[in-house]
Amino acid sequence: MGEKRYQRKIYLEDKPRAEALQEILEAARLAPETEIIPTVEALGRVTSSPIFASISMPHYHASAMDGVAVNAEDTYEAHEQRPLHLKKGSQFVYVDTGNAIPQGFNAVIMIENVQILDEETIEIIEPATPWQHIRPIGEDIVQEEMLFPQGHVLRPADLGALLAAQVTQVPAAKKPLVTIIPTGNELVQADDRLPYGKIIEFNGTVFANYIKEWGGEPVLTGIVRDEPENIKAALLQAAEVSDIIVINAGSSAGSKDYTVHILNELGTVFTHGVATRPGKPVILGQIANKIVVGVPGYPVSAYLALEWFVRPLICQYLQIPVPKRQTLSVKLGRRIVSTMGAEDFVRMNIGYVNGQFVANPLTRAAGVTMSLVRADGLLVVPPEQLGYEQGDMAEVELLKPLEDIMNSIVFCGSHDLTIDLLSSQLKTQRSDMKIVSSHVGSMAGVMAIRKGEAHIAGIHLLDPETREYNISYVKKLLSGQDVVLYPFLKRTQGWMVPKGNPLDIKSAADLAEKEAEYANRQKGAGTRILFDLLLKEQGLAPEQINGYDREMFSHLSVAAEVKGNGKAAGLGIYPAAKAMGLDFVPVGDESYDLLMTRAFFESEKGRWLIGVIQSESFKAEVDKIGGYSVVSNAESLLLDGQK
C-alpha cells in the first residue's frame, strides 16, 4: 500500500453550493413515479395529481338540528296569538341532526320550538322560512370540486375531507428510495463489542432518519470496507434499485478516498468539493441516471451535506418546495470569524436572557456530534462575509422550536455533575422548562452574567488572599450589578489518578517529581485556579508540569483522559473520578455557588429552580452521587456592588 499511499492526484474544488445543487437537480429531472394508496394510510404523503370530490357532502339536504321537517308554506299562519297545529306525516316528520329532509319538506323547526300535543300532532307559534336549519347539498364539499392540487402534503383533517368526499384512494408521489452506503475499515456496528481504534457506525442511522422525516424511503446497507472493488459493487447494486444514493466517507482527496475515482469510472462526477465550511469534501455525481451524493465522514459535515443536497433531491422528486427554517434575530455574544469565499455554518447556542436573544457559537469542530444535538440555531455566514463582531445582530436558522429556547434556563460556568441532576428534576416538575448548560469555567461564567448571556453561573473561585470562595470575584467583576450569590454545594476536590495510584501522587510536587502526564483544565476554570495556587504554594513553575498546556473542559474529560493512561493524573471532583473508576486523593473542600441576577432570582424560572434545589428529592439524589453536601437552609447573598 505504501507506494499508492501518497499519490495525491486531486485537489478539491470550491464550487458554490447553489451551483452544485442546480446541476444535480437538473440531472435528476425524471418523471417521478406515483402510486395509488388508501386514503386512511396517506398521512404525510404528497398528492401526485389534483384530487376531486367524488360526492357532495352532504350529498342530500340534511337537517342541521334535532326537530321537525315541515313545508315552510304550511307554517306562514303560525303566530304566538294563533298557535298552529301540524299533522304527522303530511305536515311534519321528526328529524335528527344529519337526517335527510324527506321529499315535500323544505324547512326544519328546532325541537325546542315545538309543543308536542300527542303522537300525531304538534303545535308551533312561529312560521318557518324556507330552507331554515337545512344544510344544503354540498354545503361542505361539492361533487367535482378540486379538494387538493398536486404537491399537497396530506394532514389529518385532509384525510377527513377526502373520506367525506368518498375518495378512498389517492394518487401519491412514490417515496424516493435512498440507499445509504457507510464505508470505512474503522467502522463497526453499534451492537458489536467495540475494539480499540474502531468507531461505531452511526451516521447511517442519522441519515436514514432524516431521509424518513423528509419524505424519502431510506435503505441502510451494511458497512462496506475501504476497497475499490467492494465500493464499486455496492454502488452498482444501489444504482439498480434506488432513486438516490448516499455514500458516506471517502469523499475527500486522501489516499483511501476511492469514491471519486470509482464514480468517474462508473458514471459522471459533477462536483468534488463545495465552497462551505464545514462540509467541503462533497462528491456529486451520477451512475445510470441515479444521483450519487458522497458525503464526508465527520458527522457535522455529513449531516449538513445531506441537507444541502439530498433533501432538495427528495423534495424535487415529491414535487414539494424545500421547507425553510424559522429564523430569529439574535445578538452575538462573541466575535465570529469566517472564511472569505466560503459559506460558513456555525452551530449556535441561543439564550433568552433579560428580554433579548443572545447567541454564542458552539465548537466548530466538524467531528463533534454533540454540537448538533446541543445547537439551538445555525448561523450561515455568506461567502463574501468575513464574519461578525461581538454585539452584532445576526439572523440564525432555528434548529429547535422558539418556545424551547424561551423556556430554557441558560447555565454557564464551571462544570458540575449535579447540574444535569438539577435539570432532570426541574423537568419532572415543569416539563416545559429545562437547563441548557455550557461548561466554560467559573471565570467565563461570571463574565456571562455580566454580559447578560446566561441566567445562572456555577462558580468556585478561590481567592488566594482571603482564602474565601467566590465573593471577592463577584464584588470585583460585577461591581454595580444587582446579583445574587446562592450557596449551592460543598464538594471535594482532589487528585484523580489511575486505579491503584501507580505513581503514588499525593501533591503537586509529586506530579513534577514523578513526571506524571497531567491533564489540566482551561484558563479561567476554578479547578485551574486552584491548581495554580497549589503549584505556587509548593514553589513550582508551570513548565515543571508535564502537560500543563493540555486543556480539558470538564471534570469528566480530565477523568476520561486519566483513565486511559497509567502515567496520567488530574485535579477534579470526587464524583468524576468515581464515575470513571479512578482513585481519588482529596485535596480539600470548596464552595460551588450559583451566581445570578436578582431579576432572574425573583423570576418564575428562578423561583422554580430554587424550589427544586431546596427539595428533599434533589438533596437525596445528590447524596447518592457522593462527595457533595447541598448547603441546607441556604441564605442567598445579595451582592449589590454599589454597597
Q: Which of residues 468-527 bind a second copy (CB under 8 A)?
A: none
The strand pairing partners of 517, in sequence order, are 568
Applying CB under 8 A, does 98 fall inside the site for a second copy?
yes
Applying CB under 8 A, does 146 fall inside the site for a second copy?
yes
* Minimum gap (Å) between residue 198 Cβ and a second copy: 9
* Binding-site member from 105, 210, 488, 618 for a second copy (CB under 8 A): 210
C-alpha cell at 600: 432572574
Applying CB under 8 A, does 104 fall inside the site for a second copy?
no
Contact 47, 150 (CB under 8 A): yes
Angle at 576 between CA 570 and CA 577, to 5 degrees: 60
- Nearest to a second copy of 36, 190 (CB atom): 190
Distance, in Å, from the CA atom of 637 to the CA atom of 2, rounded to the nearest integer, reads 66
* Binding-site member from 242, 423, 493, 591 for a second copy (CB under 8 A): 423
Cell numbers 452511526: residue? 202
Contact 67, 108 (CB under 8 A): yes
* Binding-site member from 113, 121, 143, 385 for a second copy (CB under 8 A): 143
* Minimum gap (Å) between residue 555 Cβ and a second copy: 9
* CA 585 vs CA 389, 462, 531, 571: distances in Å: 44, 19, 14, 9
- Nearest to a second copy of 66, 589 (CB atom): 66
Applying CB under 8 A, does 111 fall inside the site for a second copy?
yes
* Minimum gap (Å) between residue 497 Cβ and a second copy: 16
* Minimum gap (Å) between residue 186 Cβ and a second copy: 5
Binding part of the chain for a second copy, among 26-34, 133-141, 453-461, 532-540 by CB under 8 A, reads: 133-141
Applying CB under 8 A, does 256 fall inside the site for a second copy?
yes
Q: Which of residues 386-405 bind a second copy (CB under 8 A)?
A: 401-403
- Nearest to a second copy of 323, 355 (CB atom): 323
Secondary structure class of 229 (helix, strand, coil): helix
* Binding-site member from 25, 27, 37, 55 for a second copy (CB under 8 A): 55
Q: Which residues contact 232 (CB under 8 A, 6 or more apart)?
A: 262, 265, 266
DSSP class of residue 310?
A: I
Applying CB under 8 A, does 206 fall inside the site for a second copy?
yes
- Nearest to a second copy of 296, 526 (CB atom): 296
Applying CB under 8 A, does 560 fall inside the site for a second copy?
yes
* Minimum gap (Å) between residue 2 Cβ and a second copy: 6
Secondary structure class of 41 (helix, strand, coil): helix
Pairing mode of beta strands 408-413, 456-459 = parallel
Q: How far apart are the first and last CA of the chain?
A: 73
Q: What is the dihedral angle through the alpha carbons of 228, 233, 237, 238, rounded to the nearest 10 degrees?
A: -20
Helix (H) or strand (E) holding 616: helix 616-625
Applying CB under 8 A, does 626 fall inside the site for a second copy?
no
Cis peptide leading into residue 58 (ω within 30°): yes
539 CB-contact burial (10 Å; exposed 0-12 / middle 13-18 / buried 19+) = exposed
* Minimum gap (Å) between residue 430 Cβ and a second copy: 8
Applying CB under 8 A, does 93 fall inside the site for a second copy?
no
- Nearest to a second copy of 50, 588 (CB atom): 50
* Binding-site member from 343, 532, 561, 590 for a second copy (CB under 8 A): 561
* CA 162 vs CA 33, 157, 188, 260: distances in Å: 22, 9, 47, 47
* Binding-site member from 20, 24, 141, 410 for a second copy (CB under 8 A): 141
* Minimum gap (Å) between residue 248 Cβ and a second copy: 12
C-alpha cell at 217: 424511503
* Binding-site member from 15, 21, 28, 58 for a second copy (CB under 8 A): 58
* Minimum gap (Å) between residue 567 Cβ and a second copy: 11
Applying CB under 8 A, does 140 fall inside the site for a second copy?
yes
* Binding-site member from 237, 385, 424, 615 for a second copy (CB under 8 A): 424
Q: How many residues of this chain bind a second copy (CB under 8 A)?
A: 123
Q: Which of residues 349-368 bind a second copy (CB under 8 A)?
A: 365, 367-368
- Nearest to a second copy of 297, 487 (CB atom): 297
Which of 15-23's residues contact partners 24+ apart within 8 Å by CB, and which partners? 15/271, 15/273, 15/274, 15/275, 16/274, 16/275, 16/383, 17/274, 17/275, 17/276, 17/308, 17/343, 20/270, 20/271, 20/274, 20/282, 20/284, 20/309, 21/308, 21/309, 21/312, 23/270, 23/271, 23/284
- Nearest to a second copy of 287, 503 (CB atom): 503
Distance, in Å, from the CA atom of 242 to the CA atom of 237, rounded to the nearest integer, reads 9
- Nearest to a second copy of 438, 597 (CB atom): 438
* Binding-site member from 475, 550, 598, 619 for a second copy (CB under 8 A): 550
- Nearest to a second copy of 267, 570 (CB atom): 570
Q: Which of residues 166-185 bind a second copy (CB under 8 A)?
A: 166, 168, 184
Applying CB under 8 A, does 57 fall inside the site for a second copy?
yes
Among candidate residues 598, 596, 591, the one with its CA nearest the CA of residue 456 = 596
* Minimum gap (Å) between residue 199 Cβ and a second copy: 6
Contact 430, 397 (CB under 8 A): no
Applying CB under 8 A, does 633 fall inside the site for a second copy?
no
Contact 141, 165 (CB under 8 A): yes
For the window 257-296, what string marks contact with a second copy as x by the rule CB under 8 A?
----------------------------------------
* Minimum gap (Å) between residue 565 Cβ and a second copy: 9
Applying CB under 8 A, does 137 fall inside the site for a second copy?
yes
Phi, psi of 520 (to 5 degrees): -90, 170
Applying CB under 8 A, does 236 fall inside the site for a second copy?
no
* Minimum gap (Å) between residue 197 Cβ and a second copy: 4
* Minimum gap (Å) between residue 33 Cβ and a second copy: 16
The strand pairing partners of 491, in sequence order, are 590, 628
Applying CB under 8 A, does 543 fall inside the site for a second copy?
no
Binding part of the chain for a second copy, among 376-384, 485-493, 575-583, 589-597 by CB under 8 A, reads: 575-583
Distance, in Å, from the CA atom of 110 to the CA atom of 126, rounded to the nearest integer, reads 11
* Binding-site member from 12, 21, 28, 56 for a second copy (CB under 8 A): 56
DSSP class of residue 57?
A: B
Among candidate residues 63, 62, 54, 65, the one with its CA nearest the CA of residue 112 = 65
- Nearest to a second copy of 213, 602 (CB atom): 213
The strand pairing partners of 462, in sequence order, are 469
* Binding-site member from 14, 139, 589, 640 for a second copy (CB under 8 A): 139
